Amino acid sequence: MSEDSGQIDHVFHERRKFAPPAEFTKRSVVSSQDQYAELCQRATENRDEFWKAEAEEHLHWFEPFDSVCEFNAPDVKWFDGGKTNASYNCLDKHVEEGRGNRTAIIWEGEPGDTRSLTYAELRKEVAKCAEAMLELGVGAGDVVSIYMPMTPELAIAMLGCARIGAVHSVIFAGFSAESIADRNNDAKAKLVITSDGLHRRGKVLPLKETVDEALAKSPTVEKCLVLRRIGNSDTPMTEGRDHWWHDVVDKQQGELHAAPMDSEAPLFILYTSGSTGKPKGILHTTAGYNLWAKRTFQWVFDHREDDIYWCTADCGWITGHSYIVYGPLSAGATCLIYEGAPNFPAENRFWELVEKYRVTILYTAPTAIRAFIKWGDEHVEKHDLSSLRLLGSVGEGINPETWIWYHEKIGGSKCPIVDTWWQTETGGIMMSPLPGITATKPGSCTFPLPGVVPKIVDELGGDVDDQHGGMLCIAQPWPGMLRGIWGDHQRFVQQYWTTVPGMYLTGDNARRDRDGYYWIMGRIDDVINVSGHRLSTIEVESTLVSHDCVCEAAVVGRPHELKGQAISAFVTIKDAEPTEELRQELKQYVRKQIGALAQPDDIRFAESLPKTRSGKIMRRLLRDVASGREVAGDTSTLEDLSVLAKLADEEA
């Protein structure tokens, strides 16, 4: 932990505390400590009874379930025997209950085009998309890869899959052709849904070309459905395989009913980086996930009828799944979706949107907040942000100074901040303040939600002094928990359930202070967090080593003002000179293989990599080197890191 301890100590000495505004408490969904304590007690002590009532009240059941929770670690079944449908819960339920005219989605594209859909309209579009998928030969259990810009059609495609029981696998539209092909092949995807392109910072990126490159290596994919987003007339279309959305979706009736699905039927796969090798497909199933997304949304965001809720995430990540699509729509919320960059055409775009649509709840990431701070307060001050009543943060720890800026400049010192800790694997928020009752401490995700039982343990699974900190585990099953890694049960068991038997290992370190507040202290493993996105250092290393000129590579994270962590690579080379050209070539190579997110910020050439006597790369040492000084243009010489290694060895 030593490499991070400076920041942690800093965070841990944070003494400021912010009480929930009284006005807020009066009306909130969870409005007293007693109510919270009672929810937690019932959810843990009478788990089945509690979740039975929750599921019956909050989901629609075509057929009732027989049991609530069957847990035989690591396997779990929630609401077994029941039949429901996530698209029904998000759409039909509202239409049936007379809320069809409520606005579901308000959308704005980067160029300024807009669209708005009521729940009834959204249901129709989703049904049409589902009908088109059936026509293209997709059925229940088939996997559909979705590689699209943040248009309403992205949410429509996800819900369209859910409607017929197809399993979606959304791939963030910044990933490379290689990454798409890997995911298509791992999941055995049958259909890919994409668009002719996307708008990003005023430029147009041609997505379909990238998909074509991926499809050349994706033998299981039979069809490709293409949305016209940018009107690119020379989009390549392969006869028989590729179909325009406006040809096959628009002509449908839009009357298809939602298929009753087993509670444990797969709803989606989402690929995320683990500590080793290739990204893994995290599997979530229907009923438990849906319930968890809905209830955590209602508890944490204190949702009210008149809210305009905006989550700035992309549906390519879990935050977009749970808090743009399944959570808010199940709760009947009105959601703003914005397609583009926060600084296009200017650095005030987000605040312009908040003012224009009178956004009341804003959920964003620390990396974005740090960028706003850097861009300057003047972009914020131009706008009337008085509609905001609640702010959220997700993706990485928020450092106290960033928290304070968010609180004062965006929230006008009146909005509570919910710092939500969770993971792709957990399906939804696990720890967070509840805005009506929790006094917040900047940098702490505060307390667990009802039904979440965190436990901090040492490497052997033994109890530790909470204040000292240790590995964060979850000791009881919760409805939104992952059900597995797609096609790799062994890895699922190994990764999450072996280190501490019987408990879910989160991969994060945490500490609990004297008041019982939780503080997340970063990862235990070799996962780094770049702009709130998980990347495995080993994935980047393997890619570098696959380049002809690279013998060995070590990748570490170093602190970065905006991104949280930047990627530093150390490589030893063969048959090549350590030139600036080679450095650029390697950066582009990683970008092409994995995607722009994974491109190393700096690459150092080394004579050899520092290793322990047992041959393990001394990452801690490399982290020190990486964070110690900026890479200047003159580092094309080879660094002799073995000297450092020797010094470190002597110290040890």
Amino acid letter for position 553: A
Is 449 in contact with 299 (CB distance < 8 Å)?
A: yes
In the numeric block, which tokens belong to residue 232?
């690119």
Residue 125 binds to ligand WTA (criterion: CB under 6 A): no
Residue 265: name the closest of 79, 43, 36 by CA: 79
Q: Which residue among 335, 445, 524, 566 contacts ligand WTA (CB under 6 A)?
A: 445
Name the residue among 444, 438, 369, 374 with its Cα closest to residue 410: 369
Residue 13 annotated as binding? no
Q: Pattern of binders to ligand WTA over 485-524, x per CB under 6 A?
A: ---------------------xxx-----------x--x-
In the DSSP assignment, the letter for residue 604 is: E
Least Å distance between CB 299 and ligand WTA?
A: 16
- CB contact set of 13 (below 8 Å; sequence gap of 6+): none
Is residue 397 a contact residue for ligand WTA (CB under 6 A)?
Answer: yes
Contact pattern for ligand WTA over residues 569 through 598, marking x by CB under 6 A:
------------------------------
Name the residue type at position 271: Y
Judge whether 235 is annotated as a binding position: no
298 is in an annotated binding site: no
Cα-based distances in Å from 623 to 182, 541, 630, 633: 30, 15, 12, 20
Under the binding rule (CB under 6 A), the answer on residue 396 touching ligand WTA is: yes
Amino acid, single-letter form, for residue 449: L
Report in angstroms the alpha-carbon separations of 530 from 160, 207, 278, 536, 597: 31, 23, 17, 10, 8
Q: How far is the CB of 362 from ligand WTA (least distance, A)?
A: 15
Q: What would the x/- binding string for ligand WTA be over residues 264 to 283, using CB under 6 A?
A: --------x-----------
φ, ψ of residue 358 in degrees (nearest 5): 55, 50
Q: At its nearest, how many Å lie between ligand WTA and the CB of residue 375?
A: 23
* Shortest CB 45 distance to ligand WTA, Å: 27
139 is in an annotated binding site: no
> In one letter, which amino acid is 174?
G
Among 107, 297, 421, 589, binds ligand WTA (CB under 6 A): 421
By CB under 6 A, is residue 420 in contact with ligand WTA? yes
Q: How far is CA 250 from CA 92, 131, 259, 480, in A?
A: 20, 10, 21, 34
- Closer to ligand WTA by Cβ: residue 397 or 454: 397
Tell me how far, at minimum, the Cβ of 507 lies from ligand WTA, in Å. Answer: 6
What are the φ/ψ torsions at residue 512 (nearest 5 degrees)? -125, 125
Does the annotation list 4 as a binding residue?
A: no
Consult the annotation and say whether 421 binds a ligand: yes
Whole-angstrom distance, CA of residue 384 vs CA of residue 367: 23
Q: How big is the chain by its Cα radius of gyration, in Å?
A: 24
Closer Cβ to ligand WTA, 290 or 565, answer by number: 565
Count of residues in contact with ligand WTA, rule CB under 6 A: 22
Rounded Cα distance between 525 and 527, Å, is 6
Does position 454 bind ligand WTA by CB under 6 A? no
Which residues fall in the annotated binding site? 200-203, 319, 343, 395-397, 419-424, 508, 523, 531, 534, 545, 547, 550, 591
> Contact residues for ligand WTA (CB under 6 A)?
272, 317-319, 394-397, 419-424, 445, 506-508, 520, 523, 529, 534
